[in-house]
């Protein structure tokens, strides 16, 4: 009938149109300018052709769609900047408002076209794509477990600007709607139906028919909110019910975001204002907020790091181009302890064969039992079947015999953190493996170059550093020893890709990247404590700065004793000057005198009662010889200290050549240790502030708190030249 590039459009004998979204040359549908144009033509065709009764929109791919092309948004932001420079702020703002409103107007046109539209959704349907479904008058989801709907825009510093805030807030209780919009979670089919987000759930091959039947049976072309007498699910904003909702909503917003996320604040505003207006005006208000948020530095930073850079890294930005793709079928894991057992699980979970080795069969079996437990938990939650567990366990061979490693493509050792033990294990592994097998270590502190010396071929030796808990943490640090070769790097990257984690590649150095920054954060917390600052304020400052937990709490998680162990090792290797005496004193007292090791023995900076929540240990006060009264505490400065110290450490890793690409420091810092995501990561924090301002801030802190805040030469140079980390990297790539 009509020619479309991105849709197949056909009308059946009943006069019901089916628009199958299926973009050529792409594995996933995405909203682009061309898709919007074609969708607009489809809507007009359906609206004007009397023979067409209504239209079902579905996808020809394995998934419905992931939403809008974020690079398209980035482009309109760039155009805004250009216009602002050339024609002034007002012209630029008008442009951005009109531009970002197009999708919302298109969906509204669909909703008010006079013909019923239905969305038949299988697979993921997120962001702008789910907003399309929300604008349809009827939504049916496939009952397949991988089907997910949601509005995850907040995760990249944006919010749903295609009508999502308004439609969701009219479909469910305001409190629930705000929770959903704030969190941006992906929602499973039955949950979505229970929440009132969709009308129906059906087997995959029946969704289109279900949608057609709905139209055939006279489904209404008028959205509930356009019908006469429509009542908001939580009543009017200015009502007794509204009084119960809005004051706490404000408080929840503060608690969840510490006011660090303008996009989430904008959701609150858009819903609050929008619910007091008719739909068309409400959508206009949403668009105003959207255009404003699109210009925020938080959105720019988060889109760059958490979307673009992350995708680049996942797709192998750092992979040596001339090494052909490596076939990895079987992976050996030696050391079936805390880390090894989890590495075996995530590997088997990706469909790979695993040989899990420990000193004896009992230890190896114990490591394998971890996978049994994790899979059983999944079964309990209804996310896996017994057959999945059996299949996964069948892929793991527990063994105490190194010969079983014979046909592995990659072996990862995770034995005790002891160079002698590791050296011995490396030799045993190498006596068993094929000559082309790559050998990796999961060490967190031992230099890879040193370990590689025990290996017969240092070019086939590499670090693959997982973070705990391995099942949850998405980051993997790949560490290059001095002689690590390209094939080893390619193998490590191909493996990380198979297990669906995000890799960063760093050069060998003490603490690699992530742990260096983490230790700086914890150290700052310890020093604040030694200065006499109240522990609750230190913890609060960490959270207000945007960290997932305060520094003392984090220290409890990794182990107070581990902190002391690292400190002692540093002192032994690098001398007295390399450590901070106040920290040594505090940790020695906690560990050696008070027996407080952290969460592991339920006693650290916090007490961890069997029942109930953790709370700061009341005895902490007795460890402080000085005390700063709360009213004299400058919270802003505490927040700055906690972020600046980590950013400085990240800058030093660049100066030392440990980090060679700013994308890796940024992605690594957010995925690895939760560095305040709204900043875009440790280096983006500096870039968005500007090196000059950052250096000034460092100088101020240095004068007051000592030389650990001294800016390195690299930052001084950047401050003088006006360069950014990303600008330098781009120049290097271009050269
Ligand atoms: P762990 O003590 O829980 O496990 C070590 C395992 O290695 C034990 O099961 C032990 O029996 C086994 N083992 C020891 N010697 C062996 C040998 N000669 N042959 C075969 N197996 C042997 O330790 P873990 O916490 O799992 O740490 C393992 C490695 O992972 C260390 O290098 C550590 O630095 C690193 N790492 C740990 C973490 C963490 O959070 N614990 C994080 C990242 C990396």
| Residue-level pLDDT at 72 | 80
Percent of the chain with pLDDT over 90: 94
Ligand 1 atom nearest to CA at 339: 26
- Ligand 1 atom 32 nearest Cα: 443
How many angstroms separate the alpha carbon of residue 501 from the centre of ligand 1?
21
Helix (H) or strand (E) holding 99, with range, is helix 89-111
Per-residue pLDDT band at 75 (split at 50, 70, 90): confident
Give me the torsion for CA of 706, 709, 712, 715, rounded to 10°: -140
Q: Which of 317, 158, 412 is nearest to 666 (CA)?
A: 317
Q: Which class does domain 330-509 fall in?
A: alpha beta
Per-residue pLDDT band at 284 (split at 50, 70, 90): very high
**Is the distance from the beta carbon of residue 334 to the nearest atom of ligand 1 less than 6 Å?**
yes
| Residue 140, phi then psi, degrees to nearest 5 | -125, 135
Whether the predicted pLDDT of 574 surpasses 60: yes
How many angstroms separate the alpha carbon of residue 427 from the centre of ligand 1?
17
Q: Which of 514, 535, 525, 675 is nearest to 616 (CA)?
A: 535
Beta bridge partners of 480: 507
**Is the distance from the beta carbon of residue 335 to the nearest atom of ligand 1 less than 6 Å?**
yes
**Is the distance from the beta carbon of residue 316 to the nearest atom of ligand 1 less than 6 Å?**
no
| pLDDT tens digits, one per residue of 291-336 | 999 989 999 999 999 999 999 999 999 999 999 999 999 999 999 9
**Is the distance from the beta carbon of residue 175 to the nearest atom of ligand 1 less than 6 Å?**
no
How many angstroms separate the alpha carbon of residue 534 from the centre of ligand 1?
36
Q: Are 512 and 442 in contact, with CB atoms under 8 Å apart?
A: no
d(CA 112, CA 90): 31
How many angstroms separate the alpha carbon of residue 567 from the centre of ligand 1?
20
| pLDDT tens digits, one per residue of 376-431 | 999 999 889 999 999 999 999 999 999 999 999 999 999 999 999 999 999 999 99
d(CA 352, CA 718): 46
Ligand 1 atom nearest to CA at 415: 7
Region of 225 please: left (phi>0), alpha (psi -120 to 50) or beta. alpha
**Is the distance from the beta carbon of residue 302 to the nearest atom of ligand 1 less than 6 Å?**
no
| Residue-level pLDDT at 512 | 95
Delimit the domains of the chain by residue range: 2-295, 330-509, 514-634
Per-residue pLDDT band at 71 (split at 50, 70, 90): confident
**Is the distance from the beta carbon of residue 554 to the nearest atom of ligand 1 less than 6 Å?**
no
What count of other Cβ atoms lies within 10 Å of the Cβ of residue 734?
A: 6
| Residue 699, phi then psi, degrees to nearest 5 | -60, -40
Ligand 1 atom nearest to CA at 367: 9
d(CA 709, CA 640): 11
**Is the distance from the beta carbon of residue 518 to the nearest atom of ligand 1 less than 6 Å?**
no
Helix (H) or strand (E) holding 354, with range, is strand 353-357
Q: Which residues contact 325 (CB under 8 A, 6 or more apart)?
A: 494
| Residue-level pLDDT at 145 | 86
d(CA 403, CA 477): 28
Ligand 1 atom nearest to CA at 445: 34
The structure tokens 């560095």 sit at 675
How many angstroms separate the alpha carbon of residue 406 from the centre of ligand 1?
22
Pocket test for ligand 1, best of 414, 451, 464 (most atoms within 8 A of CB): 414
Per-residue pLDDT band at 80 (split at 50, 70, 90): confident
**Is the distance from the beta carbon of residue 238 to the nearest atom of ligand 1 less than 6 Å?**
no
**Is the distance from the beta carbon of residue 408 to the nearest atom of ligand 1 less than 6 Å?**
no
Q: How many residues does the chain have?
A: 735
| Residue-level pLDDT at 69 | 83
How many angstroms separate the alpha carbon of residue 735 from the centre of ligand 1?
43
Stretch 258-280: mean pLDDT, rounded? 97
Is the bond leading into 593 cis (omega within 30 degrees of zero)?
no
Q: Which residues contact 475 (CB under 8 A, 6 or more apart)?
A: 467, 501, 502, 503, 504, 514, 667, 668, 671, 672
**Is the distance from the beta carbon of residue 415 to the nearest atom of ligand 1 less than 6 Å?**
yes
**Is the distance from the beta carbon of residue 363 to the nearest atom of ligand 1 less than 6 Å?**
yes
Options 1.10.10.10, 3.40.50.720, 1.10.3720.10, 1.10.1040.50; CATH for 514-634 is 1.10.1040.50
**Is the distance from the beta carbon of residue 359 to the nearest atom of ligand 1 less than 6 Å?**
yes
Per-residue pLDDT band at 560 (split at 50, 70, 90): very high
| Residue-level pLDDT at 735 | 84
- Ligand 1 atom 8 nearest Cα: 337
Ligand 1 atom nearest to CA at 416: 5
CATH of domain 2-295: 3.90.226.10
**Is the distance from the beta carbon of residue 468 to the nearest atom of ligand 1 less than 6 Å?**
yes
**Is the distance from the beta carbon of residue 466 to the nearest atom of ligand 1 less than 6 Å?**
yes
- Quote the DSSP letter at residue 326: P
Whether the predicted pLDDT of 626 surpasses 70: yes
| pLDDT tens digits, one per residue of 1-37 | 568 999 999 999 999 999 999 999 999 999 999 999 9
d(CA 517, CA 30): 36
**Is the distance from the beta carbon of residue 358 to the nearest atom of ligand 1 less than 6 Å?**
yes
Complete DSSP assignment for 657-716:
TS---HHHHHHHHHHHH---GGGTSHHHHHHHH-HHHHHHHHHHHHHHH-GGGPPPHHHH
Complete DSSP assignment for 392-445:
HHHTEEEES-GGGGTT-SEEEE---S-HHHHHHHHHHHHHHS-TT-EEEE--SS
| pLDDT tens digits, one per residue of 520-549 | 999 999 999 999 999 999 999 999 999 999
d(CA 471, CA 606): 25
**Is the distance from the beta carbon of residue 336 to the nearest atom of ligand 1 less than 6 Å?**
yes
Residue 610 buriedness (CB in 10 A; 0-12 / 13-18 / 19+): exposed
Stretch 272-278: mean pLDDT, rounded? 97
Ligand 1 atom nearest to CA at 424: 18
How many angstroms separate the alpha carbon of residue 369 from the centre of ligand 1?
16
Complete DSSP assignment for 6-75:
SEEEEE-TTSEEEEEE--TT-SS--B-HHHHHHHHHHHHHHHH-TT--EEEEEESSSSSB--B-HHHHHH
| Residue 660, phi then psi, degrees to nearest 5 | -115, -5
């Amino acid at each position: 009938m009509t020619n479309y590039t991105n849709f197949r459009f056909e009308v059946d004998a009943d006069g019901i149109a089916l628009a199958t979204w299926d973009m050529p040359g792409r594995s996933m549908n995405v909203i682009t300018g061309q898709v919007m144009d074609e969708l607009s033509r489809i809507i007009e065709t359906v609206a004007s052709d009397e023979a067409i009764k209504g239209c079902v929109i579905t996808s020809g791919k394995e998934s419905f769609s992931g939403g809008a092309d974020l690079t398209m948004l980035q482009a309109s932001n760039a155009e805004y900047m250009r216009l602002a420079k050339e024609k002034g702020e007002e012209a630029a703002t008008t442009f951005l408002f009109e531009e970002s409103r197009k999708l919302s107007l298109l969906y509204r046109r669909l909703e008010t076209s006079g013909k019923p539209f239905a969305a038949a959704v299988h697979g993921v349907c997120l962001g702008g794509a789910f907003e399309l479904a929300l604008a349809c008058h009827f939504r049916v989801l496939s009952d397949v477990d991988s089907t997910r709907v949601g509005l995850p825009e907040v995760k990249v510093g944006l919010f749903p600007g295609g009508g999502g805030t308004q439609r969701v807030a009219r479909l469910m209780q305001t409190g629930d709607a705000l929770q959903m919009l704030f969190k941006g979670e992906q929602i499973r089919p039955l949950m979505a139906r229970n929440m009132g987000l969709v009308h129906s759930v059906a087997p995959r091959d029946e969704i289109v028919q279900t949608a057609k039947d709905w139209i055939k049976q006279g489904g209404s072309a008028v959205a509930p909110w356009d019908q006469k007498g429509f009542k908001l699910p939580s009543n009017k904003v200015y009502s007794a019910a509204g009084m119960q909702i809005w004051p706490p909503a404000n408080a929840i917003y503060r608690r969840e975001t510490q006011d660090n996320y303008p996009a989430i604040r904008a959701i609150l505003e858009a819903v609050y204002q929008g619910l007091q207006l008719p739909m068309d005006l409400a959508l206009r208000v949403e668009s105003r907020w959207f255009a404003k948020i699109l210009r925020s530095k938080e959105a720019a930073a988060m889109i760059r790091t958490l979307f673009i850079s992350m995708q680049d890294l996942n797709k192998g930005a750092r992979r040596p181009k001339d090494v052909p793709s490596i076939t990895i079928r079987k992976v050996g894991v030696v050391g079936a302890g805390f880390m090894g057992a989890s590495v075996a699980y995530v590997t088997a979970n990706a469909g790979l064969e695993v040989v899990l080795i420990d000193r004896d069969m009992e230890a190896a079996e114990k490591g394998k039992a971890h996978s049994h437990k994790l899979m059983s938990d999944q079964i309990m939650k209804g996310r896996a079947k017994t057959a999945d567990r059996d299949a996964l366990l069948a892929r793991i061979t527990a063994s105490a015999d190194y010969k079983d490693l014979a046909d592995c493509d990659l072996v990862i050792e995770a034995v005790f953190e002891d160079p002698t033990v590791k050296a011995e294990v490396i030799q045993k592994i190498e006596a068993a493996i094929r000559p082309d097998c790559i050998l990796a270590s999961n060490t967190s502190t031992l230099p890879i170059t040193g370990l590689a010396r025990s290996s017969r071929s240092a070019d086939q030796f590499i670090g693959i550093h997982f973070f705990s808990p391995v099942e949850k943490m998405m980051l993997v640090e790949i560490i290059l020893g001095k002689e690590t070769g390209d094939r080893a790097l390619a193998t490590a990257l191909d493996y990380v890709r198979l297990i669906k984690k995000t890799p960063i590649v760093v050069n060998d150095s003490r603490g690699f990247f992530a742990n260096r920054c983490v230790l700086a954060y914890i150290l700052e917390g310890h020093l604040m404590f030694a200065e006499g600052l109240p522990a609750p304020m230190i913890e609060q400052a960490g959270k207000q700065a945007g960290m997932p937990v305060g520094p003392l709490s984090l220290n409890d998680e990794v182990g107070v004793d581990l902190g002391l162990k690292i400190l002692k090792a540093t002192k032994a290797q690098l001398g007295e000057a390399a450590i901070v005496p106040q920290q040594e004193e505090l940790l020695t007292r906690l560990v050696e005198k008070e027996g407080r090791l952290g969460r592991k023995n339920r006693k650290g900076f916090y007490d961890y009662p069997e029942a109930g929540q953790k709370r700061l240990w009341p005895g902490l006060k007795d460890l402080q010889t000085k005390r700063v009264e709360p009213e004299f505490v400058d919270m802003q400065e505490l927040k700055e200290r906690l972020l600046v110290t980590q950013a400085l450490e990240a800058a030093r890793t660049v100066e030392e050549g440990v980090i060679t690409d700013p994308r890796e420091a940024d992605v690594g810092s957010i995925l690895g240790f939760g560095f305040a995501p709204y900043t875009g990561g440790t280096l983006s924090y500096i870039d968005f502030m500007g090196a000059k301002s950052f250096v000034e801030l460092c100088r101020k802190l240095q004068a007051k708190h000592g030389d650990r805040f001294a800016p390195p030469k690299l930052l001084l140079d950047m401050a003088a030249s006006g360069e950014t980390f990303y600008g330098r990297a781009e120049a290097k790539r271009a050269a």
